[in-house]
């Protein structure tokens, strides 16, 4: 597959207006994507659990306009117009226009809402960009009369083409978004041990997964709900010329191979060691960038220490991971749900802003909702 496979054949249907709605989840990386090349190509492969409860629902309404000179769209979050979202979407439209040649022919109304509280510090770019990409694919499907598959694509690949292209488009909006369309584990980035893996889009983890990882739990502790001091995009760019970058990319490559074996064997101790090391390595990269920065807060470290003590005292298999922020994702097997949730409520909630946390679990990806019009 190359980028060119995602350039569509000429559209056959003339459509004046319509609307599509998709709901798409967030995801949490186990092996982290940190560092990218031109055109949102990752420096290393990553793998994530798709989440179930933290989701964005987006309705994309479109109506034909007279000119085809420029993009025209409005964005709403929970019914309120959001001018501040426009530049990110404009950048996204510019990147994907060649793959979606209808973009300048319509005016779009993008109405979006999240299940998680906004400004909770939970990144909405993965769920938001994947939901928008899926809505755009539904428009394309309508324009091609139900089949979006260009002639160049083999019959055998036809079934997955819709999702693959949606993932390809989502990646151009925000890298990690390409891992949100399916579940329960998705790999993004070319890797020798993952058949079909690609730098261009996410693919479902193709290997056997031990039952210990079924319905794995993730409670997100909202440690700091403020704006991040450094955005992910800036952070990724600081990996260019970073003194440890090449070793880090090699390590992520190796960790993806190792986690493939762990997911098969169900070795939870090995899982904990790999996942926590990945989280701390991500933040170590931030702390050793130039300029350097720290996204963890004192309470992030308090929580990590509490998790380590709890594990030492009880033999629990609970562990943590972090994304690019201060919040902590607490990961644990389903059979420990009751005890770990009690631990969270009694010992960790005090370190969260307004004692807020969100119980989530591994999910299976995006779904289309029926529109009434």
Query: In whole angstroms, how close is the CB of 69 to ligand DP6 at the nearest point?
Result: 28
Nearer to ligand DP6 (CB atom), residue 19 or residue 304: 304
Q: With binding defined as CB under 6 A, does residue 233 bind ligand DP6? A: yes
Query: In whole angstroms, how close is the CB of 236 to ligand DP6 at the nearest point?
Result: 5
Q: Which residue is nearest to ligand DP6 (CB)?
A: 175
Q: Which two tokens stand for residue 99?
A: 């793959």
In the numeric block, the tokens 């083999």 are attached to 154
Q: Which two tokens stand for residue 251?
A: 């390590």
Residue 20: name the closest of 99, 101, 136, 102 by CA. Answer: 136
Nearer to ligand DP6 (CB atom), residue 142 or residue 230: 230
Of 33, 62, 201, 332, the one binding ligand DP6 (CB under 6 A) is: 33
Residue 87 CB partners (closer than 8 Å, separation 6+):
none
Of 23, 58, 112, 125, the one binding ligand DP6 (CB under 6 A) is: 125
In the numeric block, the tokens 């030492």 are attached to 312
Window 105 to 124, contacts with ligand DP6 (CB under 6 A): 123
Nearer to ligand DP6 (CB atom), residue 46 or residue 316: 46
Nearer to ligand DP6 (CB atom), residue 174 or residue 299: 174
What x/- string results for residues 148 through 187 when contact with ligand DP6 is judged by CB under 6 A? Answer: --------------------------xxx-----------
Q: With binding defined as CB under 6 A, does residue 326 bind ligand DP6? A: no
Residue 328 CA to residue 340 CA, distance in Å, equals 14
C-beta separation of 58 from 130 below 8 A: no
Q: With binding defined as CB under 6 A, does residue 232 bind ligand DP6? A: yes
Of 24, 26, 46, 255, the one binding ligand DP6 (CB under 6 A) is: 46
Residue 323: name the closest of 187, 120, 134, 166 by CA. Answer: 120
Q: With binding defined as CB under 6 A, does residue 323 bind ligand DP6? A: yes
φ/ψ of 138, rounded to 5, equals -65, -35
DSSP string across 209-277: --GGGTT-EEEEE----SPPSS-HHHHHHTTTT-TTHHHHHHHHHHHHHHHHHHHHHT-HHHHHHHHHH
Nearer to ligand DP6 (CB atom), residue 34 or residue 310: 34
Window 270 to 289, contacts with ligand DP6 (CB under 6 A): 282
Residue 122 CA to residue 267 CA, distance in Å, equals 29
Query: In whole angstroms, how close is the CB of 67 to ligand DP6 at the nearest point?
Result: 31
Q: Which residues bind ligand DP6 (CB under 6 A)?
A: 29, 32-34, 40, 46, 123, 125, 174-176, 232-233, 236, 282, 323-324
């Amino acid at each position: 597959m190359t980028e060119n496979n995602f350039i569509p054949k000429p559209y056959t249907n003339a459509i004046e207006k319509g609307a599509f709605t998709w709901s798409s989840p967030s995801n949490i990386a186990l092996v982290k994507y940190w560092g990218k090349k031109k055109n949102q190509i990752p420096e290393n492969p990553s793998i994530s659990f798709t989440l179930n409860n933290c989701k964005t629902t987006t309705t994309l309404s479109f109506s034909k306009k007279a000119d085809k000179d420029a993009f025209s769209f409005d964005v709403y979050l929970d019914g309120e117009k959001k001018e501040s979202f426009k530049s990110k979407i404009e950048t996204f439209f510019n990147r994907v226009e060649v793959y979606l040649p209808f973009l300048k022919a319509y005016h779009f109304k993008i109405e979006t809402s999240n299940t998680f509280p906004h400004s909770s510090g939970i990144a909405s770019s993965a769920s938001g960009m994947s939901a928008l990409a899926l809505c755009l694919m539904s428009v394309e499907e309508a324009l091609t009369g139900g089949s979006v598959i260009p002639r160049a694509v083999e019959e055998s690949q036809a079934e997955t083409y819709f999702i693959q292209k949606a993932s390809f488009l989502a990646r151009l909006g925000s890298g990690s978004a390409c891992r949100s369309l399916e579940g329960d584990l998705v790999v993004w980035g070319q890797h020798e041990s993952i058949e079909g893996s690609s730098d261009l889009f996410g693919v479902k983890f193709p290997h056997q997964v031990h039952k210990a990882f079924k319905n794995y739990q993730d409670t997100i502790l909202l440690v700091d709900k403020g704006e991040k001091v450094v955005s992910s995009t800036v952070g990724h760019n600081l990996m260019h010329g970073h003194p440890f970058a090449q070793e880090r990319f090699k390590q992520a490559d190796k960790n993806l191979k190792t986690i493939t074996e762990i997911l098969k064997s169900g070795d939870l101790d090995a899982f904990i060691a790999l996942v926590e090391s990945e989280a701390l390595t991500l933040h170590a990269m931030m702390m050793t960038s130039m300029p350097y920065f720290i996204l963890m807060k004192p309470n992030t470290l308090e929580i990590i220490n509490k998790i380590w003590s709890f594990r030492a005292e009880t033999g629990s298999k609970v562990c943590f991971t972090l994304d690019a922020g201060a919040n902590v994702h607490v990961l644990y097997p389903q059979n420990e749900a009751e005890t770990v949730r009690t631990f969270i409520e009694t010992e960790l909630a005090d370190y969260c802003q307004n004692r807020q946390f969100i119980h989530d679990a591994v999910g299976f990806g995006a779904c289309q909702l029926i529109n009434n019009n």
